[in-house]
A and B are shown apart, each in its own frame.
Chain A
Amino acid sequence: MGQFKVKRGYNLPLEGSPEGKLVVVPQPKQVAVQATDFRNLRPQMKVEPGDHVKIGSVLFTDKKQPDVKFLAPAAGKVNDVVRGDRRRILRVVIDVETSNESVEFPRYTDTQIKTLERAQVINALVEGGMWPALRQRPFSNIADLDKSPKAIFISGLDTAPLAADPNFYMKELKADFQTGVLALQRLTGGKVHLTTAPDNNDSFKEITGVEHHTITGPHPAGNISVQVYYIDRLHSGEVIWYISPFDTARIGQLLKNGRYPNETIVAITGAPIEKRHYIKTLAGAPMASFLPQNLSDNVHRILSGTILSGTHASLEGFIGFYDHTVTAIPEVLKKRFLGWMDPGFNLPSYGSTFLSSLFKNKKFVQNTDLNGDERAFVATGNYEKVMPMDILPVNLAKAVLIEDVELMEQLGILEVAPEDFALCTYVCPSKIEFGEIIEHGLTLIEKEG
Chain B
Amino acid sequence: MSLDQIFTKLEESLSKSPFKLIEPLVEATHTFLLTPGKATRRGPHVRDNIDLKRYMFMVIVALLPVIIMGMYNIGRQTGISDFWLAIWKGALVMMPVVIVSYAVGAFWESIFAKIRGHVINEGLLVTGILFPLTLPPTIPLWQVAIGISFGIVIGKEVFGGTGMNLLNPALTARAFLFFTYPGNMSGDSVWAAVDGFSTATPLATAAAATGNAVDALHASPLHYTLNNMFTGFIPGSMGETSTLAILIGAAILIILGIGSWRIMLATALGGFGMASLVHWLAGPTATGMLSLPPVYQLVMGGFMFGTVFMTTDPVSAAGTNTGKWIYGILIGVMAILIRTFNPAYPEGMMLAILFGNVFSPLIDHFVVQANIKRRLRRV
Q: Which of B4, B40, B162, B367 lies in contact with A368, CB distance below 8 A?
A: B40
- The interface on chain A, measured as residues whose beta carbon lies within 8 A of the other chain's beta carbons, has a size of 71
Q: Is A354 engaged at the interface, CB distance under 8 Å to the other chain?
A: yes
Q: Which of A344, A368, A428 contacts B45 (CB 8 A)?
A: A368
* B119 lies within 8 A of chain A by Cβ: yes
| A402 sits at the interface (CB 8 A) | no
Check if A353 is an interface residue, CB within 8 A of chain B.
yes
Report the minimal beta-carbon distance from B172 to chain A, rounded to whole angstroms.
18
User: How far does the Cβ of B72 sit from chain A's closest Cβ, in whole Å?
Assistant: 25
Does residue A216 face the partner (Cβ distance < 8 Å to B)? no
Q: Measured between C-beta atoms, what is the minimum distance from B303 to chain A in Å?
A: 23
In the complex the two chains form, is A309's CB within 8 Å of B50's CB? no
In the complex, how many angstroms separate the beta carbon of B117 from the nearest chain A beta carbon?
Answer: 13
Whether B39 lies near A380 (C-beta < 8 A) is no
Among candidates B38, B47, B119, B368, residue contacting A426 with C-beta atoms closer than 8 Å: B47
Given contacts A375-B52, A380-B314, contact A368 B257 (CB under 8 A): no
B285 at the interface (CB under 8 A from A): no
User: How far apart are A12's CB and chain B's nearest CB, in angstroms?
Assistant: 7
Does the CB pair B48–A349 fall under 8 Å? yes
Q: Are A392 and B55 in contact (CB under 8 A)?
A: no
Residues on B with C-beta less than 8 A from A305 are: 43
> Known contacts A331-B39, A352-B256: does B164 contact A309 (CB below 8 Å)?
no
Contact digits for A371-414, partner B, Cβ 8 Å, 1 yes 0 no: 11101111111101000001010110000000000000011100
CB-CB under 8 A for A352 and B378, given A376-B162, A379-B315: no
Question: Is B57 within 8 A of A341, CB to CB?
Answer: yes
A334 and B37 contact, CB distance less than 8 A: yes
Q: Do B37 and A429 have beta carbons less than 8 Å apart? A: no
Q: Is B42 an interface residue (CB 8 A)?
A: yes
Could you tell me the distance between the alpha carbons of A185 and B53 in the complex, rounded to whole angstroms?
53
In the complex, what distance in Å separates the CA atom of A236 from the CA atom of B32?
48
Q: Say how far A306's CB is from chain B's closest CB, in angstroms.
A: 8
Q: Assess whether A351 is in contact with B50, with CB atoms less than 8 Å apart.
A: yes
Contacts of A359 in B (CB 8 A): none
Tell me the complex Cα distance, A88–B49, Å: 37
Q: What is the CA–CA distance of A378 and B59 in the complex, to the nearest angstrom?
A: 14
Given contacts A338-B33, A395-B364, A429-B51, A351 and B45 within 8 Å (CB-CB): no
User: CA separation between A384 and B314, bound complex, in Å?
Assistant: 14
Q: List 14 A-B contacts (CB under 8 A).
A: A236-B379, A307-B43, A327-B45, A339-B53, A353-B257, A354-B50, A369-B35, A372-B36, A372-B53, A376-B161, A380-B257, A392-B368, A410-B375, A430-B163
A residues contacting B by CB (< 8 A) are: 12, 14, 233, 235-236, 301, 303, 305, 307-312, 327, 329, 331-332, 334-341, 344, 347-354, 366-373, 375-382, 384, 390, 392, 394-395, 410-412, 422-423, 425-431, 433, 435-436
Q: Apart from A371-B35, A381-B260, what 5 extra A-B contacts exist at CB < 8 Å? A: A307-B46, A308-B44, A380-B55, A380-B258, A425-B44
